A and B are shown apart, each in its own frame.
Chain A
Amino acid sequence: MSMEFLLATGVGMVTATGIYLMLRGRSFPVVLGLSLFGYAVNVFIFLMGRLWSNAAPVLVGEGPLADPLPQALVLTAIVIGFATTGFVVELALRSRHESGSDQVDGHEPTGPRA
């Protein structure tokens, strides 16, 4: 029970933090938010293979085996997430270079909350 609770709340909190950061106006927090969201998703995939304790991760010896497929899925997701994060960082840099502003919308906000 405690392990399930810990992981479920952990994934939930990281997701919430990620979404909060993604809703910020500057591209740096947005990229951080995307990364955090990506981490939460990766752990979530892993959990969907159920929690295993005392189980071998690969085919060795006797006894039960942890589900190996989610590990492979997570690995793929990590690689793709890494590449796309790299791309979005580069794109945000170029966008800042072109528009002269770090804002996602390409210009500094105007009005009382600026």
Chain B
Amino acid sequence: MTGSLLDFWLQHAPVLSVVLPMLTAVVLLLIGDSGGMAGQGGAHDDAPLRWRRRIALLSTALGLLMAAGLVRHAADGDLLVYRLGEWPAPFGIVMVVDRLSALMVLLTYLVALPVLWYAASGWDSRGRYFHAIFQFQLMGLSGAFLTGDLFNLFVFFEVLLIASYVLLVHGQGRERFRMGVHYVVLNLVASGLFLIGLSLVYAATGTLNMADVAQRVAVLQGDQQVFAQAAALVLLVVFGLKAAMLPLYFWLPGTYAAASAPVAALFAIMTKVGVYSIVRVHWQVLGGEAVADWLLPLALATSALGVLGALAAHSLGRLVAYLTVSSVGTILAGVGLFTSETLSAALYYTLHSTIVIAGLFLLVELIAAQRGECGDSLRPAHAVREPVLLGVMLLFGAASAAGLPPLPGFLGKLMVLQASGGLAAQAWVWGVVLGVGFLTIVGLARAGVIVFWHVQPVVDDGAPGSSANLRAPVWAFMSLTVALAVLAAPVKRYTDAAAAQLSVDADYVRAVLGADAPPSTRPYDGQRAAPAQEKQP
């Protein structure tokens, strides 16, 4: 029984990671949501809410297990290729699990489970259908990481974006709707540009299958090559907007600061979808030549401006949001250097920064909840009720975000510095990464001093401290951070292998298209193939 279940999973693993959250979301929709009565003391609504929480948590935990299974399978270096509907590769849609995509799916679930736990302590009852939309978001994220088809990537982008639109305004309020309109309009424009980029790729190569495109871009000549370069640059704008790269990050701080804490924490992974897409599409599929001149300078400038924003932030939420921008800059610098070693370092840093920032977003709300009407804004207020506990948590997160040893932030930055040694841009990378680290410490120290030391005496209103259910997810993120430092060697070996795997296109193409890929007639010329090769309807 167990054996056959494992076989079934192995056979369908890539698609199951997408189908599971989708089915869960449908079940959650069927259970229904009468709209937050439990939050206002409506006892009759408790039972369905409890069931929704249980189902969502169970499904996410199962998703985490499956993601861990994917990583374990991918670690051997075998590519798992899943052809939907058994259509042969360049015609049908494929899903491909390589080391990078398995790692990103695992990261998604590692962030999602504690966040869901946190949300299940109250946020989920402040609006309708939180759990269902959350699962749709996971579906979009997993799909975007696992797909091997460019148009399919667009579709999963839309799935995760539509879910994120709804999650962003969860809890409602004027500021959320205002930022929501900005966020949705910007992302719709980006979707339009995404389609333009994709159709340029199609015009140049006649295919949208990633492996097939990678094979053809290499041999393009003349006009077609210009088409492919234009496509690469248009797509860089799209992914740059998602990743919050200069000059496209201005939407992020306001949006993330306006979102409810669990949603902002989940959104920590959303910028990484942009980073992943840049790695997948620009690194592997289209080749880095077209964007190489742009990516590194923009990444370093993003990092520097992000941290300046953090210094100037007037609330803790915006501070953490700016740290997100800054960390994306550091990651993209590793990607933009276009060597295997720097990419590996950037992947390690991605893991760390996503986890730390998600934890910080949750922590900010714990702190804000104890500062009365001052909330998370950075001005003197009365002291928090649990200064030692929250202070140590913030110190821990801050030290890791700033990159102090022995936390993984330090290891990640050290890896980026080491990997960039000897390259032409070394001086710039070292200067920016170290300077940003220093300014991050200054910014977070300023915030810590205002929140914990520059205080009026605590007002003892008899209110309880933060509940254990809210603290536990923050502890979970911190334990993950420590685990990432303790397990740095195996994790780094894995990211090394993942980066190396991305650099060898031939294996990827062979795995997806088959060893004896037939000579194709694309770009499409309108002439029918010989009957023997004709595609059966």
Contacts and interface: CB of A to CB of B under 8 A. Distances in A.
Contacts of B250: none
A45 interface: yes
B524 A50 contact: yes
B117 interface: no
Interface residues of B, number: 32
Interface string A59-90: 10000111101100100110011011101100
Contact of B191 (A84, A91, A95): A84
A99 B182 contact: no
B178 interface: yes
A34 B189 contact: yes
Contacts of B524: 49-50, 67, 69
B202 interface: yes
B188 A91 contact: no
A77 B195 contact: yes
B185 A37 contact: no
Interface residues of A, number: 42
A98 B177 contact: yes
Nearest to B173: A98
Contact of A41 (B155, B178, B195): B195
A107 to B, nearest CB: 9
Contacts of A41: 192, 195-196
A104 B182 contact: yes
Contact of B203 (A48, A92, A99): A48
Contacts of A69: 202, 524
A88 B188 contact: yes
B165 interface: yes
Given A37-B192, A104-B182, A105-B178, A45 B527 contact: no
A2 B155 CA distance: 34
A98 B178 CA distance: 9
Contacts of A59: 537
Interface string B195-210: 1101110110000000
Given A22-B189, A91-B181, A95-B178, A48 B155 contact: no
A87 B169 CA distance: 12
A44 B174 contact: no
Nearest to A77: B195
A106 interface: yes
Contacts of A76: 151, 155
A48 B199 contact: yes
Given A76-B151, A91-B184, A95-B177, A70 B189 contact: no
B526 interface: yes
Contact of B184 (A44, A70, A73, A87): A87
Contact of A80 (B155, B165, B198, B199): B155
Nearest to A68: B524
B165 A44 contact: no
Given A41-B192, A84-B162, A94-B177, A48 B526 contact: no
Given A50-B524, A76-B151, A88 B181 contact: yes
Given A41-B196, A48-B203, A95 B158 contact: no
B526 A91 contact: no
B428 to A, nearest CB: 34
A41 B189 CA distance: 10
A52 B151 contact: no
A81 B155 CA distance: 11
B180 interface: yes
Contact of B195 (A45, A50, A87, A95): A45
Contacts of B198: 45, 73
Q: Which of A67, A70, A76, A80 is the most central at the interface, judged by chain B CB atoms within 10 Å of its CB?
A: A80
Nearest to B181: A95
Contacts of A80: 155, 158, 191
B189 A91 contact: no
Max chain A Cβ within 10 angstroms of own Cβ: one of B181, B202, B203: B181
Interface in A7-45: 22, 27, 30, 34, 37-38, 41-42, 44-45
A64 B526 contact: yes
Given A38-B192, A64-B527, A80-B155, A70 B199 contact: yes
Nearest to A87: B165
Contact of A44 (B151, B185, B199): B199
B184 to A, nearest CB: 5
Nearest to A46: B199
B196 A44 contact: yes
Given A84-B162, A91-B180, A104-B182, A70 B526 contact: no
A48 B224 CA distance: 12
Given A38-B192, A50-B524, A67-B526, A99 B174 contact: yes
B528 interface: yes
A37 B189 contact: yes
Interface of B: 151, 155, 158, 162, 165, 169, 172-174, 177-178, 180-182, 184-185, 188-189, 191-192, 195-196, 198-200, 202-203, 524, 526-528, 537
The 6 closest A-B pairs by CB, nearest first: A48-B199, A64-B526, A106-B178, A48-B203, A95-B177, A45-B199
23 contacts: A22-B189, A37-B189, A41-B192, A42-B195, A44-B199, A45-B196, A45-B198, A49-B202, A70-B202, A73-B199, A76-B151, A80-B191, A81-B191, A84-B188, A88-B185, A88-B188, A91-B180, A91-B181, A91-B184, A98-B178, A99-B178, A104-B185, A106-B178
Given A45-B198, A91-B165, A99-B174, 15 more contacts: A34-B189, A38-B188, A44-B196, A45-B199, A47-B199, A49-B524, A50-B203, A50-B524, A64-B526, A87-B162, A88-B188, A92-B181, A94-B169, A95-B181, A104-B182
